[in-house]
Amino acid sequence: MKFLKASKYILLPIFALVIFSFTANLFLNEPEISLDSYKVEEGFELSLVAAEPHFSAPVTMDFDNQGRIWVVEMVGYMPNIEGTGEEEPNGRITILEDLDKDGRVDHSKVFLDGLVLPRAIAHAYGGLLYTDGPALYFVKIKNDKPGKRTLVDPIYADGGNVEHQPNGLMLNIDNWIYNSKSNFRYRLLNGKWLKEPTSYRGQWGITKDNFGRLYFNNNSNQLQGDYVLPNTLIRNQFYKPSNSINKGLTRNQRVYPLHATSVNRGYQEGVLDENGMLVNVTASCGPLVYRGNIFPENYNLNAFVCVPEANLIKRNILNFNETETTAEQAWDNKEFIASTDEGFRPVNLFTGPEGAMYIVDMHRGIIQHKAFISQYLTELLIGKKLDTLQNAGRILKVTHKDSKPNAITNLDKFSTKELVPLLSSSNGWTRDRAQQMLITSKKKSVKKALMSLAKVDNEFGSAVHALYTLEGLNLLSFDFLEELLKETKNPKTVAHILLLMEPFASQSNIERMSAISANVLAKADPITDLYLSISLNPWLKIAPATFQPTLATIADKYSFNEIFQEAVISSLEGQEELFLKENAANKFLTKNLGETLENRVNNKPNSIFVIESRKDDSRTNGLKLYRTICGACHGSDGSGIEGMAPPLKDSEYIDGPVHRLSSIILHGISGPIHVNGKLYELNNEMPAISSNSDITDQDIVDITHFLQNAFAKKQKRISAAEVKILREDKPKNGGFYTEKELLEKEFER
């Protein structure tokens, strides 16, 4: 007792400290989450930056000039196993803050809410680009609150489902904003938003290297990319390049998960190995070419890829071979990060202001949209109760044990003069943001400093950043570019200079450009030769006799290289016939120029120039039609509704002949019916869709394919042509089918 009495004065401060720490933690709200189930490559550390309740369902993020995280919450995505309610305006954009500067978010505030399936965000032009439903908006930011809002594109993401809609919003070094799953790019110039066609790229997430080439992927191809800078080989609208754009960079799609995974097509042969492990990627997304400065040197410009279905992140090593890029997996038997936590769903990766790699972990059970989810996966998720893992989410950070992250600096406090040196930062995020801020400032007093930096040759492409900052400020001149070209030895910088000369194509500059072309050719460098052939496009239009021989020289010199040949065809926009007459020996050119001329005559341009909006894909259309026409009776989950319609799950009419299923959809059915051994005495009829003139044969195909995907044990296909025949093959009584007639009638497949 004496001890207790004496020690209470010692214990009270301790208790007070504990209580203070506890209440402070509640106030600061820094969740403690174990990462013990995560295996990270040796030498690297994985830490938690933020988690619920500060946000939920994160799909992407961006940093502002202060280094704070702005996270996009796609709360409406698959809110339940039936996928109903995703049209609800419950999405948000939230600002995350670390007020006590301990590396963990302790405060959050909503910037925008009431959004429908938001999926993209980008700080640019002093404001914020974001998506809301099908639309793309730009909003000014005032004291962390939305100011004036501008509609940039009302049909940015119309059609399809959220897994197949445009996303990304990445501002590239050329001052254009590019997207994944889109054929348009955007730019704010002189107060007006521009929208231009570009090549389709990827499915979810987009990234770039220091040169400005773009990288992306789709669900079954973990890494794709363009060999050339964007929009350089699509000048000829009647030719679609295929050897230089949208290339698979690695043939190896193997994954090495730590545990048996629940994937959508796991029942198909070869998807899982004998131990239930996923063999190849099936949902790759969110790639990142690491351009930070705190990883070891051999990690610089590595491409990391999210594989959420297997709860891991891959590492690929990029190889740059003059005009082509390839990639190889860093290891054959392990991953950069892998976890046994089936809730770990990395969907996007980013380089941060301090050089670390950030992981957007949606952290949920369901990552397959209803339009595509199979009955096999549905049952697995329910069995593991993964369908109940909702409204969570994490932001994780990867650092290296031997490198101390840079301090996060508030760039808003930098003057324009102080921003210029940041274009030489070893951290790509810093260079990119400094370039944006300098352009947004519109201050031309930095011209001299930028022109000096444009002469600096380093591995970070600082000269290129300086050049495009000058371009964004409208401070470039042909004289300066010409002089710079004489001093520049780096082929990649020369390539950009040649492209930046294009707007200066005029009669007065023909002679000088002709001399420049000769000097570039004399260097005999494949990179500069390639971009010379690309950049001649506007010069050919005003002086074909002067520049066609240069193009012919390049075409002949690289006759074996199809990338060069595509560059030549692109530059020959409208002059194919003249060139073909004088250069008929090149088989590739002869064939492809002939096809280009035929496309021009038949007015068949590259589809990117004619597709303004997109239709739903087949299964998304099938899902929408099912919910509109069938779901009211059969239930959103296909379990049927007592007294109205039998279940579709385990139904022999779903698993049986696909022609019979389509016939039922077309012509309806009446009377009692047996499903899975149970008799359903129904007093109503399933109506015939064929009587609805708005429902096409392809719509019937789409409904059938959705039903097969969602409820059949083994999928079967049917074509619109087959549906057309079935439409005329009506029931004997001219009304609805009966169970007896369906069972007696012979159907194919």
- Output the pLDDT for position 683: 62
- Output the pLDDT for position 82: 87
- Output the pLDDT for position 18: 40
Mean pLDDT of 564-573: 95
Quick one: which of 610, 571, 497 has its CA closest to 234? 571
**Residues 49 and 31: beta-carbon distance below 8 Å:** no
pLDDT in tens, 213-237: 999 999 999 999 999 999 999 999 9
Lowest mean pLDDT: which of 428-432, 445-449, 558-562, 580-584? Answer: 580-584
pLDDT higher than threshold 90 for residue 247:
yes
**Residues 227 and 323: beta-carbon distance below 8 Å:** yes
pTM, rounded to two decimals: 0.86
What CATH code is assigned to 618-744?
1.10.760.10
- Output the pLDDT for position 21: 37
- Output the pLDDT for position 16: 39
pLDDT higher than threshold 90 for residue 534:
yes
- Output the pLDDT for position 676: 86
Alpha helices in 222-322 (DSSP H): none
Lowest mean pLDDT: which of 121-125, 155-159, 745-749? Answer: 745-749
**Model confidence band, residue 304 (pLDDT cutoffs 50, 70, 90):** very high
**Residues 538 and 505: beta-carbon distance below 8 Å:** yes
User: Residue 220: which residues within 8 A CB-CB, separation 6 or more?
Assistant: 253, 280, 281, 282, 284
List, as one string, the DSSP characters of 473-504: TT---HHHHHHHHHH---HHHHHHHHHHTGGG
577: its two tokens = 């016939």
pLDDT higher than threshold 80 for residue 635:
no
31-237+245-400 against 618-744: fold identical: no
- Output the pLDDT for position 649: 81
Taking the C-alpha atoms of residue 226 and residue 469, their distance in angstroms, rounded to an integer, is 23
Taking the C-alpha atoms of residue 71 and residue 386, their distance in angstroms, rounded to an integer, is 24
Quick one: which of 274, 279, 332, 326 has its CA closest to 307? 279
Helix (H, G, I), strand (E, B) or coil at 385: coil
**Model confidence band, residue 9 (pLDDT cutoffs 50, 70, 90):** very low
pLDDT higher than threshold 50 for residue 387:
yes
pLDDT in tens, 664-681: 888 888 878 888 888 887
pLDDT higher than threshold 80 for residue 685:
no
Mean pLDDT of 155-177: 90
Taking the C-alpha atoms of residue 607 and residue 183, their distance in angstroms, rounded to an integer, is 9
Instruction: Select the more confidently predicted residue: 712 or 88.
Output: 88
The CATH architecture one would assign to domain 31-237+245-400 is 6 Propeller (2.120)
List, as one string, the DSSP characters of 525-593: -HHHHHHHHHHTHHHHHH-HHHHHHHHHHHHHHTTT-HHHHHHHHHHTTT-HHHHHHH-TT-HHHHHHH
- Output the pLDDT for position 27: 42
pLDDT in tens, 112-131: 999 999 999 999 999 999 99
Helix (H) / strand (E) containing 110 = strand 107-115
**Model confidence band, residue 614 (pLDDT cutoffs 50, 70, 90):** low
Average pLDDT of the chain is 90
Instruction: Tell me the one-letter amino acid at 607.
Output: S
pLDDT in tens, 13-63: 434 334 333 333 334 577 788 999 999 999 999 999 999 999 999 999 999
pLDDT in tens, 477-515: 999 999 999 999 999 999 999 999 999 999 999 999 999
Taking the C-alpha atoms of residue 376 and residue 84, their distance in angstroms, rounded to an integer, is 19
**Residues 558 and 551: beta-carbon distance below 8 Å:** no
685: its two tokens = 């009829």
- Output the pLDDT for position 708: 85
pLDDT in tens, 169-182: 999 999 999 999 99
**Placement of tokens 């990117």 in the chain:** 608
- Output the pLDDT for position 227: 97
Quick one: which of 418, 436, 409, 415 has its CA closest to 352? 409
**Residues 324 and 245: beta-carbon distance below 8 Å:** no
- Output the pLDDT for position 57: 96
Per-domain boundaries in the chain? 1-30, 31-237+245-400, 477-609, 618-744
Taking the C-alpha atoms of residue 664 and residue 680, their distance in angstroms, rounded to an integer, is 16
pLDDT higher than threshold 50 for residue 7:
no
pLDDT higher than threshold 60 for residue 599:
yes
Mean pLDDT of 342-364: 97
Q: Which residues pair with 40 in a beta bridge?
A: 337
- Output the pLDDT for position 627: 74
Taking the C-alpha atoms of residue 412 and residue 410, their distance in angstroms, rounded to an integer, is 5
Neighbours of 549 (CB within 10 A): 14
**Residues 633 and 648: beta-carbon distance below 8 Å:** no
Q: What is the number of residues in the chain?
A: 749
**Radius of gyration for the alpha carbons in the chain, expressed in angstroms and rounded:** 29
Strands 221-225 and 394-400: unpaired
**Residues 374 and 710: beta-carbon distance below 8 Å:** yes
Helix (H, G, I), strand (E, B) or coil at 189: strand
pLDDT in tens, 133-156: 999 999 999 999 999 999 999 989
Mean pLDDT of 583-595: 82
Instruction: Select the more confidently predicted residue: 477 or 685.
Output: 477
pLDDT higher than threshold 90 for residue 97:
yes
CA 646-713-737 angle, to 5 degrees, is: 40
